[in-house]
Amino acid sequence: MGPGKSLKMKRSLGEQLTQSSRSTGTAYPTARCVLLEVQVPAALVQPGQPVGSVVFDCFEAALGAEVRIWSYTQPRYQKELNLTQQLPDCRGLEVQDSIQSCWALPWLNVSADGEDVRLVLDVSEEQRFGLSLYWNQAQGPAKPWWHRNLTGPQTITLNHTDLVPCLCIQVWPLEPDSVRTSICPFREDPRAHRNLWRAARLHLLPPQGWRLDAPCSLPAEATLCWQALDGGPCQPLVPPLPRENITVNKALEFPLLKGHPNICIQVNSWETLQLQECLWADSLGPLKDDMLLVETRGPQDNRSLCALEASGCTPLLSRASTRAARLGEQLLQDLQSGQCLQLWDDDLGALWACPMDKYVHQRWALVWLACLLLAAVLFLLLLLKKNHVKGWLRLLKEDVRVGAAARSRAALLLYSADDAGFERRARPVPHRAGLLTALTVARLPGDPAGARRPPPRAARGEGGANVPGPPARPGQLLPAPRDPGDGSRDEA
């Protein structure tokens, strides 16, 4: 018999059984599989009567663990023994006083530290314990995230961005058969739920699979939608494909025949959009300018076609002022000629993606043709009105020359000194080209007496008063007085 194991055979029916026993295996500090083989001579076995019992009292297992016992014969008969035994833990009265690790558990407190979270473990200075942070997922086993073996009192700070609803804390003394204390304090924390959606990621699994990766389970549904190139909200596919409850970290299949970059996945939770990804945009390129045609099949082989647009599903042969209605006949021809890609097909209908690039090119070709036609008409009008155009250009040229000459030359005005309105007319006449200069002719020697002479130019003295200037000589050209707005100084 191997070490750490004992075999006891009890008498039955007053007969001493001849037995031989053999066991294989090794004792481990944690639960392992152990094989125990018992041999009894077939001659001593009476049909319908018990032979004896086997007591195996050295199998080590953790508190609260499950032990499975499986018994069979060689050769195997139909009847086998399968038994699962649940071992007691520290809550059982029979072990509370006999196992030291059940006497005192580490005390754990979770408190707020601003936006972060503080974990305070109040234990004795010499006590060694283990601390583990893990994600308690509803589907599958718990996923470890952080683990440390510590000694004495500890204070650990968690960043608020690491909080998720399924984040749990487990602490236990580093002793054999110790009981582990677990708490999940962030299940109702709003920050944890926001962080969970930020950490969720959609992944495409070729050829037709996808997966939602997240630390915790999500109460959400996934649907398919069509994202047009010109932007706008992603339109749910019509007829609607079945909504699918999401199992995180599990591969799911698209109910489609072909992939398309404009087909996206929307993840909704409680009627609120949380995630949207166009997964095929990475493998099939950017969004395309395609029109999605929806074929609906009814009873008696009745079929109808419409184009999915931002305003809804527009019938192709309608009089609506939409892009699909204007190109309805062309889209039908493309569908019948096999130029459209079939994305989905079943008894309810089908989905087709028809390219629209050629219609965009045709539209720009019409615009360029209209521009060329307008230019040709203008050129023809110029040829027909050639003489009028030449005259107009000649007048424009002369007007430009006259204006330039008027701005660069001074005007000479001649007045008679005997005129009664001399003083009024001799004043400078403002002109847009500048100030004009007046020329007066004084009386020459021998002129009749009493002839009027022009008044001398007045000069400005201090304070702005006019000061009479020197008399003009015969034949002298008198400069015009300075304009009040001119800042130049009179020359002597």
Q: How far is CA 453 from CA 423, 424, 446, in A?
A: 10, 14, 14
Which amino acid is it at 461? G
Residue 352 is predicted with a pLDDT of: 92
The model's confidence at residue 423, banded by pLDDT at 50, 70 and 90, is: low
The confidence score (pLDDT) of residue 30 equals: 45
**Are the C-beta atoms of residues 369 and 316 closer than 8 Å to each other?**
no
**Closest Cα partner for 230 from 313, 288, 306?**
288
Question: In the prediction, which pLDDT does 365 show?
Answer: 56
Helices (H), 140-244: 190-199
Tell me the pLDDT tens digit for each residue of 146-204: 898 988 888 888 888 899 999 998 888 887 667 777 888 898 889 999 999 999 999 98
- CATH no., domain 100-191: 2.60.40.2150
pTM comes to 0.51
pLDDT at 253 over 90: no
Question: Residue 3 — very low, low, confident or very high, per pLDDT cuts 50/70/90?
Answer: very low
Give pLDDT, residue 303.
84
Nearest in space to 129 (alpha carbons), one of 150, 109, 147, 107: 150
Torsion of CA 256, 258, 261, 262, to 10 degrees: -50
